[in-house]
A and B are shown apart, each in its own frame.
Chain A
Amino acid sequence: AQKVTQAQTEISVVEKEDVTLDCVYETRDTTYYLFWYKQPPSGELVFLIRRNSFDEQNEISGRYSWNFQKSTSSFNFTITASQVVDSAVYFCALSGRGSWGKLQFGAGTQVVVTP
């Protein structure tokens, strides 16, 4: 069975602060993909990043960066220099070879950025 845990329910920061979102996953698949999606108040889930299980290289894309560690089954996501427009619910998701096409989502973390 696959499981994604986002322990942080809500994070509140002041604009320009960095925000790190935690994600811990469980899977028996040796090949899997991890995702981060953003859901603003409009409701649409917006794809942010994808990582496969064979690539632990951490990267930075603009103000987004991620830290993937297979040893601890974690896939954390950081927003640098947060902006008010970053206010949204962020979901971590997992898709494994054993159930390809089925995204297993965490419960989400609400990020509130105040001016």
Chain B
Amino acid sequence: EAGVVQSPRYKIIEKKQPVAFWCNPISGHNTLYWYRQNLGQGPELLIRYENEEAVDDSQLPKDRFSAERLKGVDSTLKIQPAELGDSAVYLCASSLGETSIDTDTQYFGPGTRLTVL
């Protein structure tokens, strides 16, 4: 079974440029998460989707970050414009969903390492 797929794996951009990350979750997983991991720290949740609905976006900096999951499958996270402090690894994860609470483990993709110059 394929795991969580993310692209690109690496991205280098100049500050003020836009950037987008793509994620395809594990087949059948209804819940999708975007995390940001700064160097030397644990991941921090940015946004969580239940199917196509964003149910927790309290940590998403909405002035420059946006996300979508239009058909409830794959998702895109965008930053516009990027700032130096956005340099981090952006991780996507998926899980079956809250209806399977005892087995609702999050499985992570390889991440996209963003460098803003």
Binding site for B on A (CB under 8 A): 4, 35, 37, 42-47, 50, 52, 91, 93, 99-103, 105-108
Contact = CB atoms under 8 A, between A and B. Distances in A.
B113 A43 contact: yes
Given A101-B56, A107-B42, A44 B31 contact: no
B48 A101 contact: yes
B110 interface: yes
Nearest to A9: B40
Given A101-B48, A108-B41, A50 B105 contact: yes
User: How many of chain B's residues touch chain A, expressed as a range?
Assistant: 20 to 34
Interface of B: 3, 31, 33, 35, 40-45, 48, 55-56, 89, 91, 93, 95, 98, 101-102, 104-111, 113
A45 B98 contact: no
Contacts of A4: 42
Given A101-B33, A101-B48, A107 B111 contact: no
Contacts of A50: 105
B42 A93 contact: yes
A105 B43 contact: yes
